[in-house]
Chain A
């Protein structure tokens, strides 16, 4: 399938530690986005990175994109209990037309 695949599927860390999750995909993209979802509710947009960008920051979040490896990573630094959520990458594949394709997500648990 074309969808992005997140790795790991689940992550458990202590408060204050960093959390890193990865998203891999198979075909060329226009853009890639990361979203957070708390307890099965609506998604919150974190960062959008375009195919000609390599790195973007937003507060404690850092996203990288390597189009040669077809992968992206999301780093959360100095994690907090409130960062406990599921994180999804969403890709805008060039060949897929006008649609956004989400991966299966990484479930992050930050223990106080």
Chain B
């Protein structure tokens, strides 16, 4: 079975632009979570979606938004990019609506560089 997939793998944007990152969960998983990992730090929780509804939100500004589609894939959108948004963006899926209750299966990430 395919694992969690993310696209694109790498992306370069300039300040002020908008970016859309995509994630496809493991087949049968209804929960998708997004994380931002700045170089040298641990991942920071951004959002969790389950059955197309937002179930969890981290401390990120409103420039960050996400949605989940009927096939459980998900998009993360970031508007008005700042240099500080440069990071590895990770997506994780699981069967459970509670992120801490079960194993999270992570994708390889999208590396975003904002110039």
Could you tell me which A residues sit within 8 Å of B by CB distance? 3, 30-31, 33, 35, 40-45, 48, 88, 90-92, 97-105
Contacts and interface: CB of A to CB of B under 8 A. Distances in A.
In the A-B complex, the 5 residue pairs with the smallest Cβ-Cβ separation, listed nearest first, are A92-B100, A98-B56, A102-B42, A42-B106, A43-B106
B101 A88 contact: no
Where chain A touches its partner, the secondary structure class is strand
B105 to A, nearest CB: 7
Interface string B20-45: 00000000000001010101011111
A45 B107 contact: no
A100 B107 contact: no
A100 B99 contact: yes
Contacts, number: 74
B100 A42 contact: no
Contacts of B92: 43
A26 B84 CA distance: 28
B4, B56, B100: most-surrounded residue (chain A CB, <10 A): B100
6 contacts: A42-B109, A45-B106, A92-B99, A98-B99, A105-B41, A105-B42
B78 interface: no
Contacts of A102: 35, 42-45
Nearest to A46: B103
